[in-house]
Structure 1
Amino acid sequence: MGLETFAGAHSSTNAARDVRTLPKAHLHLHFTGSMRHDTLLELAARDGIALPDSLVSGWPPQLSAADEKGWFRFQRLYDVARSVLRTEDDVRRLVREAAEDDAADGGGWLEIQVDPSGYAARFGGITAFLDLVLDAAREATASTGVGVAVVVAANRTRHPLDARTLARLAAQYAGRGVVGFGLSNDERRGTTTDFAAAFAIAGRAGLLLLPHGGELRGPEHVRTCLDVLRPARLGHGVRSAEDPDLLARVVDAGIALEVCPVSNVSLGVYSDLSSVPVPTLLEAGATVALGSDDPLLFGSRLAGQYATMRAAHDLDDDALAGLARMSVRASAAPDDVRARLLAGIDDWLAAPA
């Protein structure tokens, strides 16, 4: 969506269609963070796991990652939520419900991101856990009609050698359900250049390279990611908007930005939704794929990202359809799935509001 397309995005003559029926792809969703709140409560009660008030009566929690202490609180809640996954059926349920929720929000393709290291001890190692997730993804695809693929993500707070191990694991499953390799957690920790070797391994296997960057750190870290990790997409990348020359480089390289507006505000990156610079990115010609990041902690799923950007920036249906097309084109979806979703977007736009 270039400037000429976006110029009409503030038109009030285009009545609003239901964003939940707009076909789209979901490219930024973390594994445990995809869990339904009701499922969290049910699984915790089953095993007598005490949850903090912020995940029970105070849900969704009030979060900010503006400082290290804030990120620690966020990560602690994530770890508590992960601890309720005790059985293979729990894992299958999580993946199935994530696909069901996307289907209800118009999603037709989902790339769910997981670090197998965080579950290995309970599920027989990283390979056994990845096998389980991939099997769950196949089952979810069959039961919901949403294509579910997996992104294996390393944790930047762990040793870079761990990332190489995960990259080799992901490479073994390239073309068999794993479509990408990522790098997540607090981007202010660790040294990005130390992960170049892991990304080279994944890249040689033909996987999409999908590091987080440009959310908690600014344009300088986006530049490092581009120079060192050579991404196809950037997890977040939203702060590219602060540097026009960098943003032009992102656009010229065709690097998609997985923008997660609600989580950006929840974590204190922006003060409110109207400050999330989606219009700036679109006007520069950037490819923007809206994602929900961690609905369990932020309280908003895929369609909510479209609804909030519509409201915050007065985006019309043409602009929302353009965002949905970008999500599909930036995905690893097979050609037939892409064609079906893109045709559905055209039909959504052609239907009466």
Structure 2
Amino acid sequence: MDRPAPPAPPPRDIRSLPKAHLHLHFTGSMRPGTLLELADKYGVHLPEALRGGKPPRLRATDERGWFRFQRLYDIARSCLREPEDIRRLVREAAEEDVRDGSRWLEIQVDPTSYAPRLGGLTAALEIILDAVEATSRETGLGMRVLVAANRMKHPLDARTLARLAVRHRDRGIVGFGLSNDERRGFARDFDRAFAIAREGGLLAAPHGGELAGPASVRDCLDDLRAARIGHGVRAAEDPRLLERLAEARVACEVCPASNVALGVYETPGDVPLRTLWDAGVPVALGADDPLLFGSRLADQYAIAREHHGFTDAELAELARQSVRASAAPVDVREKILVEIDEWLAL
């Protein structure tokens, strides 16, 4: 008589899987409760979408939807007015990441958005960098900054930001990005800003291939010489582009929950995570804007497991890919990779 097969071991805890977090926006990292407290502190009226206790219903595949998303983001950002608010946001973002198993966080910020209330552009950046440095020391989380230009502003503004970022490279700035609606303007308009950043030793990580299709990713590669792509999921629509990303080892910072929340895909299962994986494209899962999308880093790994059938071994490899795509020092990367192997050996 055949003996019954032994029960399958329970799945490992995703939160304890060591990982790097490469796609997290500054204001978007805020805890909802913190936003409510700061809004009350400064008398800011929050729309129901930001005070209802649930992620707002968003769909940014048309201009009206993207405008609503940006309006909510701008209202939330207006509640960050003093250095102590910046310090609180950074500390709490780090605490959430540590809880989700992150060992390394590269938080993305456009300091021009905070400059009017914090004493100017340089002062705002230095307050942010001070907060990141102190928080990293206090929490043990490796934490660095990626300065991002705004695609909706003039390319000369991006050059100013790139020069500022390079000047503060020794304070923990590791990369230069380009955010906001990728359907506006051309990547090549920002080529000089990215050249300044690259020549200054910063990693190029512009957004592309989410709201716009594969051409947006190609433009980031051709015009901005991207080392990483923020999102990049629409590359799945072009097999040749997938081959190019895989051969060049350009990682895509995939944010499944935000892809669904913004209407790029209808369900978590529709996000082409498997397509990128099967093509050999490096993937670094990210939470994007937890304040607006309602999920943090570990939730993205849960989506990979529950909706795409990723095994624990595959989840561990996703974590490794996030670490390899990071700007962490070699010794830090090696330490995290060992910890990932130990998680898988449990």
The interval holding the TM-score normalised by the smaller chain is: over 0.9
Q: Which residue of 1 aligns with 2:267?
A: 272
C-alpha deviations, 1:249-272, integer Å up to 9, x for none?
Answer: 111111010000000000000010
Q: Which residue of 2 aligns with 1:206?
A: 201
Question: How far, CA to CA, are the matches of 1:319 and 1:52 in structure 2?
Answer: 41
The alpha carbon displacement at 1:336 in A equals 2.3
Q: 2:27 aligns with which of 32, 52, 72?
A: 32
C-alpha deviations, 1:161-208, integer Å up to 9, x for none?
Answer: 000000000111123200000000010112211000000000100100
Q: 1:332 and 2:327 equivalent?
A: yes
TM-score (norm 2): 0.97
How many residue pairs get aligned? The number is: 340
Q: Which residue of 2 aligns with 1:7?
A: none
Q: Which residue of 1 aligns with 2:81?
A: 86
Question: How far, CA to CA, are the matches of 1:80 and 1:309 in structure 2?
Answer: 32
Q: 1:295 and 2:290 equivalent?
A: yes
Judge conservation of contact 1:65–1:74 (CA < 8 Å) in 2: yes
Unaligned regions of 5+ residues in structure 2, if any?
Answer: 1-6
Question: Sequence identity, in percent?
Answer: 64
Amino acid in the other structure paired with 2:218: R
Q: SS at 1:290's partner residue?
A: coil
Q: Which residue of 2 aligns with 1:65?
A: 60
Question: How far, CA to CA, are the matches of 2:254 and 2:218 in structure 1?
Answer: 17
Question: How far, CA to CA, are the matches of 1:117 and 1:188 in structure 2?
Answer: 22
Judge conservation of contact 1:196–1:229 (CA < 8 Å) in 2: yes
Q: Which residue of 2 aligns with 1:315?
A: 310
The alpha carbon displacement at 1:13 in A equals 5.4
Q: Which runs of 4+ in 1 moved over 4 A?
A: none
Judge conservation of contact 1:51–1:80 (CA < 8 Å) in 2: yes
Judge conservation of contact 1:151–1:178 (CA < 8 Å) in 2: yes
Judge conservation of contact 2:179–2:207 (CA < 8 Å) in 1: yes
Amino acid in the other structure paired with 2:55: P
Question: How far, CA to CA, are the matches of 2:247 and 2:338 in structure 1?
Answer: 27
Q: SS at 1:29's partner residue?
A: strand
The CA RMSD measured in Å over matched residues stands at: 1.1
Q: Which residue of 1 aligns with 2:95?
A: 100
Amino acid in the other structure paired with 1:44: A
Q: SS at 2:284's partner residue?
A: strand
Amino acid in the other structure paired with 2:260: V
Q: Which moved more, 1:91-100 or 1:172-181?
A: 172-181
Amino acid in the other structure paired with 1:301: R
Amino acid in the other structure paired with 1:216: L
Higher relative contact order (CA 8 A, sep 6+): 1
